[in-house]
Amino acid sequence: MADLARLTEVIEPEAQALGFELVRVKMMPSEAGDGGEALQIMAEDPATGQLVIEQCAALSRRVSEKLDELEEEGEVLVPGAYHLEVSSPGIDRPLTRAKDFANWTGHEAKVSMTKGFDGQRNLRGPLKGIEGDMITIADRKAGEVSVPRDQIHSAQLVLTDELIAATQPLDTSGADDIEEEKADD
């Protein structure tokens, strides 16, 4: 099993060197259907809250080179075969950092608590904010609930018209230049 804390420790300076902020590092089953794993890296340009394709590619190359370098030195951070996926967090982004909960106060979110948490496990409603390490959400069923951030298993924004209106438009420059290649059947 990959050590996510160590991976984050290695990946974060690589993202920062390109002027990006790391949003999340996660190991997950590969979508390639090969039974392997994917190392998913989400990052954003603080100026736009997103990464465009060229920025994803630059971060992917940089992280790949760093992981290869560490492996040559004998430190294997991801055992076995894996795919590297670098992406922008998207509009319905995961909320992973304290500043995410502060920046998106007022927007609807889905929050899943860890299995050991007392009380309601899944919450959904407008974020009310963060104070210290306590997140407050106006849950549809339970009303206003405050939960410790370290007890949150996952949290993400819910795609709503209000969220779309509040989000900077995605940069589509170069999209017209992309040509699709058809595989020979």
Q: Which domain holds residue 57?
A: 4-87
Give me the number of domains the chain comprises.
2
* Cβ proximity of 133 and 150 under 8 Å: yes
If phi > 0 it is left, if psi is from -120 to 50 it is alpha, else beta; for residue 158 that is beta
185 domain residue, yes or no: no
pTM of full prediction above 0.85: no
Percent above pLDDT 90 for the chain: 68
**Same-domain status, 22 and 53:** yes
Write down the H helix ranges in the chain.
Answer: 4-17, 53-72, 98-103, 161-166
Reported as a single tens digit per residue, the pLDDT across 114-166 is: 886 777 789 999 999 999 999 999 999 889 999 999 999 999 999 988 888 88
CATH of the domain at 40: 3.30.300.70
CATH of the domain at 140: 2.30.30.180
**52 falls within a domain:** yes
Does residue 184 lie within any of the structural domains? Answer: no
